[in-house]
Amino acid sequence: MDRILSKIEGNIKTKGFKKLLIDFYSYLKVMNRSNLTVRWYMDDSIAFLKWVEKNGKRDIERVGKNDLRDFLAFHLTRGLKRRSAARKVSAIKAFFRYLVKAEVIQKSEIVTMENPKLEKRLPEIVSVKEMQEIFSRAFGNSRNDVRDSSILAFLYSTGARISEVAGVNWEDIDFRNGLVRLYGKGKKERVVPIGEFAITMLRRLYDLSVEQTGPVFVNAKGERLSIRQVRNIVYKSVKKAAVSSRISPHTLRHSFATHLIEKGADIRMVQEMLGHAKLSTTQIYTHVARGRLKEVYNRYHPHA
């Protein structure tokens, strides 16, 4: 039997709750949600209804936000992280939205309940010195080496998302003016500058490429690299350079933004280059830059 169905059968006693969970599971599959999303929604919804049952409720219409608050409080006192609590709320809200949509219930106060506020985590970044070490140690002159160094240079020079790097075509790059057209979330287009170092690397890659149209970053067969392949190239290159930090493509995006703000770049310009819809998303980098400023002050100032 399917793992999710077995879990419903093994954890839920109320017939009505079982049917609702099985129907929700079928709905998620019909909607073609990813396996990870389905597992997450179902596991959290099953856990919540199991909790509701234990507390004496058998009627779904009587389940409200106080039940969900008590459920979260129980888990938070046992060490559940706020980020995980927010994930549980999202999953359970999705279940109750489905119940309203399927007209099982008329409305639910759970649907409009706010998610728990998350603790803000500052993004990890790479120092300028570490970036210099990576580029000085990691690469040779083969086509793959030039491709790999171009990927790192492109990520750090433009602040692009990994999906944008994987999707870039030669036609998107304006070598003369040092610009690139990127297609972000929702196919939203933006044009950002590329630094001189990255342009130089890309010119070398262009000269070595069999096809000088279509995808920029390709494998040995000339096929576009997948997001996973680009990520693996970044990890491999960092390992090759023997840099102690664990650096991901997103670390390079964070570093791009932080280094610009440290050097006095206007935050709205950084927002535009990153393709952020809201300025508040970009403002996290001012906190990182401020934190690094204090760190440098404390380390070097004699009165710190």
Confirm if 139 and 148 have CB atoms less than 8 A apart.
yes
Candidate list 57, 65, 203, 250, residue with the active-site label: 250
Confirm if 110 and 92 have CB atoms less than 8 A apart.
yes
Helix (H, G, I), strand (E, B) or coil at 224: strand
Candidate list 50, 88, 93, 253, residue with the active-site label: 253
Is 301 an annotated catalytic residue?
Answer: no
Candidate list 7, 88, 231, 276, residue with the active-site label: 276
Is 285 an annotated catalytic residue?
Answer: yes
Which amino acid is located at 251 in the chain? T
Confirm if 196 and 158 have CB atoms less than 8 A apart.
no
Is 228 an annotated catalytic residue?
Answer: no
Instruction: For residue 238, give every residue at least 6 positions away whose Cβ sits within 8 Å of its Cβ, in sequence order, or none.
Output: 134, 138, 245, 246, 247
Is 101 an annotated catalytic residue?
Answer: no
**Residue 235, Cα to own-chain centre: how many angstroms?**
17
Place of tokens 């036609």: 171
Candidate list 7, 147, 161, 231, residue with the active-site label: 161
Candidate list 3, 62, 107, 185, residue with the active-site label: 185
Rg (C-alpha) for the chain, rounded Å, is 25
- The Cα 179–Cα 36 span in angstroms is 37
Is 69 an annotated catalytic residue?
Answer: no
Is 294 an annotated catalytic residue?
Answer: no
- The Cα 123–Cα 253 span in angstroms is 10
Which amino acid is located at 73 in the chain? A
The catalytic residues are 161, 185, 250, 253, 276, 285
